[in-house]
Every structure is written in structure tokens, then in C-alpha cells.
Structure 1
Amino acid sequence: MRHVPAAFLAAATAIPLVSFFHIHMDFSEEISEDSKQLPSSAPLRLRHLIFEYSGPAVRSICDFLLHPRNPAYTQQIERLAIRIDSQSASYDERILTACAQTLRHLIINPGDLITIPQLPFVREVEIKVFVGDSRRLPSFFPSNFSQIASSLPLVEVITLVFVVEPLYPEVEWADQGPLPILGPSFMNRVQLLHLRRVRCKLLERNGFGSMSALLDRFVAAMESKMPGLLGTGNSGVHLGCPIVMSTVF
């Protein structure tokens, strides 16, 4: 949607779940101070906020939601889904900071190196990773994973969603070593102390590849990247390969 008035966004906060995708605010005239205030006729019920787009559209919406007169807009959000990239990184960080005291579930799609604030009450985090047809993790992903782990002290469940392109024949996944913290010394960790489950989901776009070959290589790759979780069933931490995971196609 284009040329969306501020009043439309204000009304949206009366709905528990709101997803913004390609929403562009109207910049033809200045937003009046009155329109930036919380409308008394609309009860604030926003609990789940989704940003599926980045760039100028996100910046304009963030300017509205984070306006000094609107602190309540983001202070009751319990679930946030957000795409972070270099174009809107500072806005993404501001949104996360504003939600920090109420946020419990974070869904994050990082397109670059990210910085997120301390989120002390998040219990579940889902991280989307684009692997593509190279079957190689982005070079920045290990750093992102470490940063997320250090910012979420109470996280209990981590879900990694690997997005791949179909290949025929299927190839081996690149061996880039174990993920930070989830390596062989996992049980001696000083972070992720509350972690009880890691889920790995596989999302193949278009779905025309060899499913059995893809799954075989996926399982081997996940075991290689998270060796510290193997055999930790007694500790309550499980490697979420297809044995115990939800696989998405």
C-alpha cells in the first residue's frame, strides 16, 4: 500500500497481530502532531508485529511507532518478526530496544551483520538463514549467531530455518566448522545456559530437487555444525535434525 496516512497505522494498533509488507507512508505533507498521538477511541492491543520488508518503508513506519508521543505502541509487543539489513539496521535496533521488556518470541531474518540490544525476556528465537544453491552459510552468520546468543540470556528454544534453492543432482554442504557455542565444548558454555532445544528447519524454494539426497546431506551438515549437541539428550538439549524436528518444504 502507498500513501498510507498516519491515522491508518494508529488504528492498526487496536489489532493484536499486524504485518507490514511494502507499506509506504504519505510524505506529501507533514504528519500533524495530533495524528501522532495515541487515539483514545482505539484500545491498544498490539502483541505481534511483523516487518517483512526493509528500506524506506520500514523507516517511515518506525518513525511513527517510535515517536516520543507514542511510547505505548511498542511496549506491549510479545512477538516480533523482523528483517534486518544494512538499509534499516538502526531502525531495527530501535524497535527491538523499545520492545525489550515485553518481547518473548523473536523471529529474525538477518541479511547482513547485525547488532541487537539485550533482550532479557526472550524465550524463543527463530533465525532465517539463506543458503541458496551453494549449500554454504553466509560468512557473517557465525558472528550473528554469537551476538544473538549473548543478547538473549534466557532463550530456551532456538529454531534455525535454512532456505535453499533446489539442485539436481544434490551437492554436499560446505564444511565451515561448528557454530560458535554449539561446538564440542558446548557443555562448558557460559552462554545459552537455559537452552533446552535447537530446531533446524529446511525450506526449499520451488521444491523440484531430490528430497532424499537433500535431507541426507542436511542432517550430516547440521551434525557437523553442532557437534556439542550430539548425545546431550539427558541434558534436555536436542539437535533438531529430521529425527526430532519439524521439516518444512
Structure 2
Amino acid sequence: MWGKSSFFAPGLAWPEAGLCPPERATVTTSRSTATAPKSRPRMSPSSRVECLDFEAGQLYHPRAMRARLSWIGAIPHVVITLLMIVVIVDMLVGVFLRYVMTWISARFDLPSIRFFWVEEVGEWSLAWLTFIGAALGVRRGIHFSVQLVIDQFPPALRRAVLVGQCLLIVTFGSLVAWFGWLVADLNSQSFSPALVLNLWWLYLSSVVGGVLMAVYGLIALGDVLRGRGHWGGAAGVAG
């Protein structure tokens, strides 16, 4: 009966989880209770399947879960970094084509080089960069704010103000995502003149940015309530 099984709990799926064999789980039985040692789950060297102690409530690896979440949270940072590189290179190429190649073409009577695509690449990159960057600003708490009055409040009132601020951020992000989707759907049959790209992808940036703002606003709300991170520190609670 010992081996691999599929385990499911509300909000948690653990496929191919290994059950602990009898020699690795010592159970002391009395007339009314049966207890098992609450030890950390260990990896079996032969099958490399996680051995879980279900009675101890060990249903997931916190360290592995944090690693996955850190990778997911790093995606917006990687995206805006790449977009910044694209914008810088696009500006340099645009200046070179406009002033250097245009002069060379006129000087040596060469065919002119079309560079209308440079403007569109910059516009699209800046649109995505702006919305994703604004959402990351919410997550890191680096948007401009005046704390002169709030810092004079007692901790309880300060926390209440920050909770209201986080709720406003969530509401604003949700509205941006909703109306951005409507605008994107309205322009789904339009195309850019130079690159002939569907404008739906351009206006989708507001949807992605709005969703990220709402998600980061909820995370900030949790930080305020738990007193951790930047937002929890701003609330005056040690985190």
C-alpha cells in the first residue's frame, strides 16, 4: 500500500506524493489518541519522491513555493529592463538614420532610407514600459507621496489611512484594466501605419498594467495588515 499516490486538498494539489512507509513513521497508539512525530519531510534518495507527514500537516515545501513566486515576481522586472534597452537602442537608431543616413543619401545620391518604424517602436515600448513600471512602483512603494501629515498620526490611524490608500490603488488598477480592455477591443480591427501591427497589442498594455496594479495593491494591503515590508513599515508596525 506504500508508494505513490495523488493527493488533493482545498486550494492545494500534490500529484505523485509519496506516503511514508511504516519504518519511517513511528506511531504511538493509546486508547483514544494516536500521534505521529512532527518532523520535516525528507526526500527519499531512491525514488526522489517527497515523503509527507499528513498528520503533521506538512503538505507543501515553503522554500520551493517561495522560489516559484520569486521567479514569477521577477518577470515584470525583466520585461521593463528589456523594454528600456529597446527604447534606448531605438532612439539611437532613429537619430543615426535621421541625421547620418539622410545626409549620406543626399550627399551621394543614394535611395533614401525609410525610418518611420522607429517612432512606432518607441511609442509601443514606452506604453508598455509606463504601465508595467507604474505597477512596479506600487509594489515597491516608490511613487511620490507626502508623508508630513500621516507621520504625525498614531499607528492605528496611520494603518487605517494606508489601508484606504491600498483599496484606492486596487480600485484604480481595476478600472484601468477594465476600460483598457474596452479600448483594446474597440481598436482590435485597426492597424499601425508603419509596422502594420494590430493596435489591440498596444492598448493591451493598459490592461496588463491595471491588473498588476490591482494585484500589487492587494499585496500591499496584506503587508499593511501584517506589518511587514515597505508598506507595513510605513504603517508604523515592526515587520
Specify which structure has the higher proportion of strand.
Answer: 1
TM-score, reference length from structure 1 = 0.22
Structure having the higher Rg:
2
TM-score, reference length from structure 2 = 0.23
